[in-house]
Amino acid sequence: MLSLLGSFCWIEAQPLEEAGPLCRSVNDGLSAICEEHPGRFAAYAALPLTDISAAAAEFERALGLPGMLGAQIPGNYFLTRKDAEAMRPLLEVANRHHAALFIHHGPRPGDAFSKVASDTDNARRRNGTLDMQASLSSAMVTLCLTDYLADYPDAMIQVHNLGGNLPYEVERMDHRSLLDTPEEELPSSRVRKAKVYVDCNSFGPRAIEAAVSLYGAERIVCGTDGTEFGCDWTRKALAEARIGEEAREQILHRNAAAILARVAGTAQRARAAA
């Protein structure tokens, strides 16, 4: 999958008169790579996030391009359900086209980012792990523990880095739920039922085991965040995880292949009809 780096502080956050043409140029270029190498690549669109109406229009246009299967959007839009309301135009496009939305940790235009200043001790650890994982956990709570996605059953949603820390924290969530709101369905049950995929980028075998226990192997795809960053690390972690060969094969190959085939098939039918 091809995309811009998921920091969202580049062209997507510029004023519309700059972001619009730049995002169109990126999307056209990514599509050209996909078209030049059929069956080898697919891509996520870049969207001008300073104007969500324009972002929805560019998403609609991009999904008509060869190889374009969805869009990448910042996780900060999903920290709470109230925050997520701004993303409904993009969810509507994704749902109508059976397209994918890859939710990657990152700021909305205007958000302070990174949260920890570079002169703070262990700034990269605090920003690149502690804050990132906590933010992704909040996004997953919005996506899985509210009815926000109920109107978009045909959109494919993926959150990176195992959806934050939920595999480790869900038992405490369940305990608090039993104490505080015993009439509610347990968070672990609601997360398991939610149609949200995660990837295993940058995690080790024990984390993958916990994720399989929470989500099920059928909801996890192999993530590497780029060839130099994580391919060897992720393959080693999956090889060492005590999850069984069936689950390992699902995560390494079958889940992603099924998702891409579904999304790509819908996109091809739509282009043929047009």
Q: Is the peptide bond before 3 cis (omega within 30 degrees of 0)?
A: no
- Angstrom distance (rounded) from CA 72 to CA 95: 15
Q: What is the pLDDT confidence band of residue 214, given thresholds at 50, 70 and 90?
A: very high
Question: What confidence score (pLDDT) does residue 26 get?
Answer: 97
H or E stretch covering 196: strand 196-199
> Which segment of 83-97, 118-132, 256-270 scores lowest on mean pLDDT?
256-270
Structure tokens at 33: 């790579």
pTM for the full predicted model: 0.93
Where are the chain's structural domains?
11-273
Q: CB–CB of 97/156 below 8 Å?
A: no
Q: Which fold has domain 11-273?
A: TIM Barrel (3.20.20)
Higher pLDDT, 186 or 270: 186
156-159, strands of its sheet edge to edge: 43-45, 68-74, 100-104, 156-159, 196-199, 220-221
pLDDT in tens, 119-175: 999 999 999 999 999 999 999 999 999 999 999 999 999 999 999 999 999 999 999
CA 260 to chain centre: 14
pLDDT in tens, 31-82: 999 999 988 999 999 999 999 999 999 999 999 999 999 999 999 999 999 9
